[in-house]
Each structure stands twice: as structure tokens, then as C-alpha cells.
């Protein structure tokens, strides 16, 4: 009787470890579901929208300007941020705010990206903390899952901050 209970317990823990490893690899390397909160990406992403994020792009270095990404915050590494890629390494980007009279520019260093929220007046982004290392990118947002009335892909940047020619 005791032996049977021990073997059943070991079998259960074995399956639990296997499923845990599969879940970890799936969420780390393939994709995950994220809930975005905060006003920094409005009107593209509203507060508490549920998004599907794929993590394969970051491993293949196929993140491009205009992509909405999930990254670790450079200021608070335990928090994820959702921002739009405005500039890649070597690009010239505007570092001043929308209401600044004097426009300042800088170049994005190698191995970094420039991230900004679509709601420029209410976003803490690369204009505050500078270029973000590529290694902090968790994944690229594929499409919106919730709310159902806006199910599908995300729109382009509404604030006109994406530049074709730099």
C-alpha cells in the first residue's frame, strides 16, 4: 500500500515537471498572452487589452520599425512595457517631446532600439530613459485577442513619429 502511494506520487511529480518544462519553453521561446495596462499606447492599445505576443522574432532579430513590442523596463526590470519601435541601431531619432520648440536628435547606438508610446503626452519611453538594449525585448505583439470588437492586428502609429528616411 505505501509503495503504491509513493510510486503514484512520483509519477504525478514527474508529469508535473514535464508539463512545467513544456510551459516554460512555450512561453519563453514561442509566445505568450499579455495584458497591457496604462495609457501610453492609446489609442492603439487601450487599458487592459489582451494581446498575443510572439517571441520568435527577437531570437531571429526580425524586429522592425513600427512593430509594437513587449520589453523589460530599463528603469524597473521586474515590469514589462509595451511600446512601438521608432528607431533601430544607426537611425537618427527625435528625442524632444511634441511640444518642445527646439527639436533635438540623436543616433540609436548599436544593439539598441528607440521605443516610444503612441500617446506621446502620457508615455514614459526612450525620450526619458534613452535607447533600450535589444536584449530587453521579450517579443513582438501579433494581434489583439480582447476586446472582441477590435480583434485582429494593430494599426500603424497614429502620432506620425515613424520616419521612412533617416
Cα–Cα distance measured from residue 14 to residue 6, given in angstroms and rounded to the nearest whole number:
12
83 is catalytic: yes
- Positions of E strands within the chain: 31-36, 49-54, 68-72, 80-87, 92-94, 105-107, 112-116, 132-133, 137-146
Catalytic residue, from 8, 9, 37, 40: name it. Answer: 40
Q: Is residue 16 part of a domain?
A: no
Total domains in the chain come to 1
Query: How high is the pLDDT of residue 90?
Result: 92
Looking at every residue in the chain, the average pLDDT score rounds to 86
- What confidence tier does 152 reach under pLDDT thresholds 50, 70, 90? low
Q: Is residue 5 part of a domain?
A: no
Q: Is residue 38 part of a domain?
A: yes
pLDDT exceeds cutoff 90 at 116 = yes
Please report, to the nearest 10 degrees, the dihedral formed by the alpha carbons of residues 53, 75, 93, 153 taken in order: 20
92 is catalytic: no
Q: Is residue 1 part of a domain?
A: no
Which segment of 59-68, 79-88, 106-115 scores lowest on mean pLDDT?
Answer: 59-68
What tens digit of pLDDT does each residue of 26-75 get? 888 888 999 988 898 988 888 889 999 999 988 888 899 999 999 999 98
The DSSP call for residue 153 is P
The enclosing domain of 97 has a CATH number of 2.10.109.10
Cα–Cα distance measured from residue 92 to residue 114, given in angstroms and rounded to the nearest whole number:
10
Catalytic residue, from 62, 72, 73, 83: name it. Answer: 83
Q: Is residue 139 part of a domain?
A: yes
Domain range holding 97?
32-150
Distances (CA, A) of 136 to 27, 74, 75, 76: 16, 8, 11, 11
The pTM is what?
Answer: 0.79
Cα–Cα distance measured from residue 91 to residue 116, given in angstroms and rounded to the nearest whole number:
14
Overall average pLDDT of the 11-37 stretch: 89
pLDDT above 90 as % of the chain = 42
pLDDT above 70 as % of the chain = 88
Amino acid at each position: 500500500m505505501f509503495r503504491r502511494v509513493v510510486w503514484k506520487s512520483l509519477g504525478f511529480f514527474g508529469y508535473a515537471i514535464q508539463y512545467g518544462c513544456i510551459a516554460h519553453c512555450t512561453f519563453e521561446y514561442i509566445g505568450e498572452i499579455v495584458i497591457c495596462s496604462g495609457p501610453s499606447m492609446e489609442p492603439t492599445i487601450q487599458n487592459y487589452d489582451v494581446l498575443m505576443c510572439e517571441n520568435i522574432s527577437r531570437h531571429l532579430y526580425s524586429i522592425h520599425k513600427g512593430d509594437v513590442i513587449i520589453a523589460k523596463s530599463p528603469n524597473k526590470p521586474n515590469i514589462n512595457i509595451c511600446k512601438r519601435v521608432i528607431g533601430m541601431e544607426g537611425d537618427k531619432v527625435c528625442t524632444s517631446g511634441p511640444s518642445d520648440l527646439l527639436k533635438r536628435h540623436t543616433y540609436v547606438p548599436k544593439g539598441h532600439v528607440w521605443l516610444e508610446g503612441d500617446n506621446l503626452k502620457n508615455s514614459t519611453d526612450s525620450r526619458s530613459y534613452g535607447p533600450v538594449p535589444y536584449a530587453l525585448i521579450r517579443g513582438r505583439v501579433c494581434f489583439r485577442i480582447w476586446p472582441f470588437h477590435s480583434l485582429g492586428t494593430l494599426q500603424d502609429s497614429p502620432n506620425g513619429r515613424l520616419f521612412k528616411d533617416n
